Chains A and B, each alone.
Chain A
Amino acid sequence: MTKYSALSLLRGAFNGQSHWQPAWRDPEPKPSYDVVIIGGGGHGLATAFYLAKVHGITNVAVIEKGYIGGGNVGRNTTIVRSNYRLEPLSRFYEFSLKLWEGLSDDLNYNVMFSPRGALTLGHSDADMIRLAEKGDAMAVQGIDAELLTRDQVMKLEPCLDFSRQARFPIEGAMIQWRGGTARHDAVAWGFARGADSRGVDIIQKCEVTGMVMDGNRVVGVETTRGRINAGTVAICAAGHSGHVAAMAGLKLPVESQTLQAMVTEGVKPMVNTVVMTQSLHCYISQSDKGGIVFGGDPDNWPSYAQRGQPVTMELAVQQGLALIPALSRLRMLRCWAGVTDMSFDGSPIIGTTPVDGLWINGGWCYGGFKATPGSGYLFAHSLAHGRPHEIVEPFSLDRFERGSPVDENGTGPFPNHR
């Protein structure tokens, strides 16, 4: 692996940048691996990386039906934060956020983690109390959270509509300064390069078509490139979790829905933080290339189409413009959609399944990107030790039948009621 550095780039200036080696190999699948990870997205690749790096487990294959990073890790709004109300969630996402802070160096791949602040606007006194409650719940655990007055918000994000007549008047905000954005593709590629260099086989264009079972134990997978035996099979298939789990006869507490995002043409810096709100369903940040990145609500009905509905997207724009009226003259350049695995309490699912040897990592709803390093690290730890890491214990698959949902919004088991 060529080490990445400014010096190496400079060296390349004199050799036509000809010294760079492939970031990952393109190996043929071996007949057998200790661990087979289904899904070459952020979570699958991160799991493989930490299995190899932290636990020395390198006889690992990541199997991807298309190209790595082609799912949700490459089609999100790149937001990283740990500002959750419920303790199991903030604890998990804070663990992940700490990994983000060292990730570029860890991977020797600049993932451009930009802690520019995750700003949540409050539009009423009630909003401000809910934000304080969330902030207090975080701060009690030592997670950074600060309440901002209206004047402080005005200094930070002058582009917002601060008029008193605004439909969503701004009363203040909560900010998590350590939150921000990262370059989404780089996360997938950095984990892939790191895993590959430690011996993990990343096998692209290889679709899992079935599970090889021995009684109640999974012992391998059937793929479009033949059978691959496995000591352990780990599902990291995001929106397709349910489809893959069905191959082992499992039904999951997950429904797959479409979530859209969009980006405008690039302009010079105008939005400084990640702007979210307590009452609205849109979130806005500006990419390093200058595009204003928008996200909105999911379409709220099951779909595997990676194609969102125009009216959902228009609604997000309406709310975004109400917050930042000056966006009106910018143009939407591109919108895209991902298939999200909406779990039945809004929280992820990490852990064992009723099938021996089969583990699952899914149910990320629309929050999986920021979880990527934490999810990979803790899932790898769980796989290596044969039992769930303590931080992910609240996210077990059986929590629904036991009666211990982790329901951040308190809206109950139907994702579309959220």
Chain B
Amino acid sequence: MTGQINFTFDGRALTAKPGQTLAAALLDNGIKLVGRSFKYHRPRGILSAGIEEPNALVTVGSGGRTEPNTRATDLFVYEGLVATSQNRWPSLSSDLGSALQLVSRALPAGFYYKTFFGPPKLWLFYEKFIRRAAGLGPAPAEIDPDRYAQRAAFCDVLVVGSGPAGLIAARDAVRAGKKVFLVEQDAELAPSLLRDPQEIDGKQGRAWAGEIATEVRTSGGRVLTRTSASGLWDDQFVCLSEKLVEPGQVPVNGFTQRYWHVRAGEVVLATGAIERPLTFANNDRPGVMLSQSVRTYVNRFGVVPGKRVVVATTNDDGYLTAKALRQAGAEVIAVLDSRPAPVGGDSEFAVFNAAAPVTAKGGKNGVTGLVADVDGTTQTFACDLIAMSGGFTPVVHLHMQAGGKLDWDEAAQAFVPGASRWNVRTVGLAAQPAPAETVGATGAAKQAFVDFQNDVTVADLDLAWREGYRSVEHLKRYTTLGMATDQGKTGNMAALDRIARREGMTVPEAGLTTFRPPYTPVSMGALAGMGTGEHAQPTRRPALYDLHAAKDPIWLNAGYWKRPRAYPIGAETLAQAGLREARAVRSSVGMCDVSTLAKFEVQGPDAVQFLERVCQTTVGKLAVGRGRYTFMAREDGLVFDDGTVWRLEENRYLLTSSTGGASRMATWLSYVRNHLCADLKVSVVCVQEHYAAMAVAGPQSSAVMAALTGEEAPRHMSVVEAKIAGAPVLVMAASFSGERAFEVHFDASHAEAVWRAIEAEGCCPYGLEAMELLRIEKGHMVVGTDIDGRLTAGELGLGKMVSKAGTWIGAATLQRPDFADPLRKQFVGLVALDGGSIPEGSMLVRFIGGEAEGHVTGSGLRVLEGGSIAIGHLKGGQARHGEDLYAWSPTRKQKAKVRVTSPHFYDPAGERYRD
């Protein structure tokens, strides 16, 4: 380890040694004050050396790589690292927010529930300031330039944690022939062996760890460092979040993190245990650190965080820290051991038994001393570092997320994993933590912190209890205990201990909060992976997409589909282009891509029986080569889709339905076929994307079709097979526009040839805007607005077409009494009486200010002669033709006087369909 790494903290240029975390480097540079707490802006230093850190949060990176709330203990320094302290103004050392400490006596837990009354506007005013004061790091403003990879994988055994227990589990699994994933959140394997070097199997610890890692890799497994197992779900489904570079660092190949979905045969949790702080007054001061963490800084990072140290412990671990510190040249002033009698006869230190810290002295730049209770007497020790150990909390988060139970380990005073729901087992210190006792809180309760980041004190817990917030969940939510970015990893057990002690209960009686995923916070970018931005949902392009694109149309996002809305010429607006295209259809001939229509081939001797279940119309009466309009009801009797059905051969039908409802219809037909009609001899195949389709519409369409196919065009609602440009096509004479029209269906691979041939006949391409104008004028309904899933066939004006046989699904439930109500909504036409346009979506009222009796579902105009028309739903509308109403849009401040009419404005007799 040579060389130095340059970084900055709050603008100050500093250097770090390779392999150091930011926390280690700051300590190495003599910096103790690192951040400010959430509520009172108390000065905070570095408590731990790991992911449990509640205090030392910084913002790293710049521009779009800015990452707020990054734990300095979980960030390895890289060249050029820019770190900034948070939640302070104007500077970390003189923070105005710290004035809140002065009034903290009036701001107990939950104080905001008890004040700021008055009208909501007033709270909105207070809230503005509260929100600015809260919130830790800065809000990101720029777009993230980096990408996040995602990957799915399978393995036999996934081991979480690469301490000795995890390594042994991994080694045993590899030797049993298993494919193993070994996951470590640290940058190095076996970080505990870096903290406490030891020999294993006669080898130096790190070498031993490296050999097992090699064994895992060479046997086809993976070793993932800098990777956190963030969640564990049913059947050993594990989410891993892997840092490819450090937070804020510029990635090598564009990817900053990789997020894994791993399905494991077995999960072994070797997640270790997190050391617990002791609860005493000012235990949050810079210079009060966890005992094991101090050892990590000394032995792993080569940093001695203090010169004169007091170790306060409830277990044997404190002595290891005392030894490490002495070896590193620090002076161990005292070891305060809570246990009444000396343990192990270790007398190399000034050990005080039955001793506990009471109040730390000192301020923002570190502790200067410790007032302790030694067997009933008060003693003061001058020191610049307090290393504390309150025992160990096993990391059982993943075990619990996976539905596991917990048991209480009396010797360790800790919850340990009990029965697992899935194939998950816990090994090592997470299953068997070291024995420790708990000592309860000492010193002034208002200064004794349990949750450091959220500033929850013992006094807050006591107040919450007194006020009746006694369930652990209440206590947690009322005080905000355990809800900070560390999720209570260091503080929750101390809180339970406090409750248990004051009420004379055991800790399990006091309760336990649940552990929710993720174990450590996961970048939103990693969760989204590549599936965001333009890929946030699929884009579907019809077969003719490139041909449309060549015309540079105005596109419409129709569900996932990209469809042309209009093909403007020159400076035409959407409305101008749409009207021109619609007029072309009314006066000569147009062509429109209708490939996205849902299409199903229904074949077999029982095809008619099947179709007369799903269609509300008759189908059996169709002769071969004929088709008809049809519509479908849900099981509740209401219409949900419409389309056409064509008899292509004796036992072969083509059913079309709406684009937007295509996948719903596909599922529905499959359901009916497989569940309700399993005995029928019928096959139903979705051919939506196999066939491209084009509508050719207008008075000249018959001539165009004849020219293209060399045969006489079929008569209305007939279908023939033909060839266009050498490609086999189905020509179905059907109209959505009100003009004589044809739908030409053909294999999507012939799209270009067929399109060009039709266009060469002088057809004007038209888009969905023109289609809307044409179909509204004709009174044709569309699924989604006119057919909105709330009306019956009768209410939509389709009653006469409903099959009397009543074999269709939904017939039974349509007999419910309220459907007989004549005042239910019905489909109507509307004509503007005062010249203005009729706002689409507006409410139909008798007078401005009256109640809504219906609404406008579609608005358009008479394509050739002008004049506004619309269609809509109106209460009892079929009996109200001739009545005058207003179409009123208060949000757009528009209104139109309208007359209720039949919706069939254009050629109601259908004469234009005849040749």
Contacts and interface: CB of A to CB of B under 8 A. Distances in A.
B888 A140 contact: yes
B909 interface: no
B135 A333 contact: no
A245 to B, nearest CB: 22
A412 B789 contact: yes
B789 A136 contact: no
Contacts, number: 341
Given A267-B68, A267-B69, A314-B528, A12 B137 contact: no
A24 B529 CA distance: 47
B257 to A, nearest CB: 10
Contacts of B536: 167-168, 318-319, 321-322
With a 10 A CB-CB cut-off, give which of B261, B471, B474 has the most chain A CB atoms. Answer: B474
Contact of A136 (B135, B140, B888): B888
Contact of A404 (B127, B556, B818): B818
Contacts of B107: 9
Contact of A325 (B120, B123, B143): B143
A123 interface: yes
A412 B638 CA distance: 8
A183 B537 CA distance: 33
Given A132-B889, A136-B843, A412-B789, A268 B139 contact: yes
A109 B64 CA distance: 41
A136 B130 contact: no
Interface stretch (A28-36, A54-62, A100-108, A206-214): A100-108
Contacts of A130: 841
A216 interface: no
A319 B537 contact: yes
B890 A410 contact: no
A267 B789 CA distance: 43
B516 A136 contact: no
A187 B636 CA distance: 38
Contact of A174 (B113, B556, B891): B891
B852 A109 contact: no
Contact of B144 (A66, A140, A318, A329): A329
Contacts of B120: 100-101, 104, 113-115, 180
A4 B110 CA distance: 11
B127 A318 contact: no
Nearest to A267: B139
A104 B117 contact: yes
B263 to A, nearest CB: 12
Contacts of B478: 185, 189
Contacts of A409: 789
B843 A326 contact: no
Interface centre among B103, B139, B470, B521 (most CB of A within 10 A): B139
Interface string A324-357: 0111111111111000000000000000000000
B131 A13 contact: no
Interface stretch (B77-85, B461-469, B692-700): B461-469
Contacts of A135: 890-891
A109 to B, nearest CB: 6
B346 interface: no
A318 B114 contact: no
Nearest to A205: B471
Given A146-B891, A269-B131, A413-B635, A403 B819 contact: yes
A140 B890 contact: yes
A124 B118 contact: no
A136 B69 contact: no
Given A113-B120, A265-B68, A330-B68, A412 B636 contact: yes
Interface string B774-801: 0000000000000011100000000000
Nearest to A134: B841
B842 to A, nearest CB: 6
B154 interface: no
A74 B469 CA distance: 14
B105 A328 contact: no
B867 interface: no
A146 B66 CA distance: 36
Contact of B140 (A26, A67, A167, A327): A327
Contacts of B237: 310
B272 interface: no
B134 interface: yes
A288 B65 CA distance: 25
A265 B105 CA distance: 27
A141 B850 CA distance: 9
Nearest to A399: B818
B366 to A, nearest CB: 27
Contacts of B477: 74, 185
Counting chain B CB atoms within 10 Å of each CB, the highest count among A129, A146, A266, A411 belongs to A266
Given A325-B533, A327-B140, A333-B487, A136 B855 contact: yes
B108 A12 contact: yes
A316 to B, nearest CB: 9
A268 B135 contact: yes
A317 B527 contact: yes
Contacts of A335: 516-518
Interface string B506-534: 00000000001110011111011101111
B471 A403 contact: no
Contact of B841 (A110, A129, A315): A129
A331 B51 CA distance: 14
Interface string A162-181: 00011110000010000010
Interface stretch (A15-23, A43-51, A228-236): A15-23
A266 B855 contact: no
Interface string B437-468: 00000000010000000000001000100111
A10 B118 contact: no
A112 interface: yes
B534 A6 contact: no
A317 B69 contact: no
Nearest to B789: A410
A330 B528 contact: no
B841 A132 contact: yes
A329 B67 contact: yes
B119 interface: yes
B839 interface: yes
A266 B841 contact: no
Interface string B462-492: 0100111111011001101001010100000
A266 B69 contact: yes
Give the one of B459, B841, B843, B891 with max A CB within 10 A. B891
A70 B473 contact: yes
A4 B467 CA distance: 12
A23 B533 contact: no
Contact of A267 (B136, B487, B517, B790): B136
A417 B668 CA distance: 11
B408 interface: no
A268 B817 contact: no
Closest 7 A/B residue pairs (Cβ): A290-B135, A410-B789, A403-B816, A133-B841, A270-B139, A331-B521, A67-B471
Interface of B: 38, 61, 64-69, 103, 105-108, 111-121, 123-124, 127, 130-132, 134-144, 148, 231, 233, 237, 239, 261, 403, 446, 459, 463, 466-471, 473-474, 477-478, 480, 483, 485, 487, 516-518, 521-525, 527-529, 531-537, 539, 556-557, 634-638, 640, 664, 788-790, 813, 816-819, 839-843, 845, 851-852, 855, 888-892
14 contacts: A4-B114, A9-B111, A17-B105, A24-B468, A74-B477, A104-B116, A140-B890, A167-B536, A185-B477, A288-B130, A314-B531, A326-B144, A331-B522, A332-B523
Given A268-B135, A330-B68, 4 more contacts: A123-B557, A167-B534, A290-B135, A326-B142
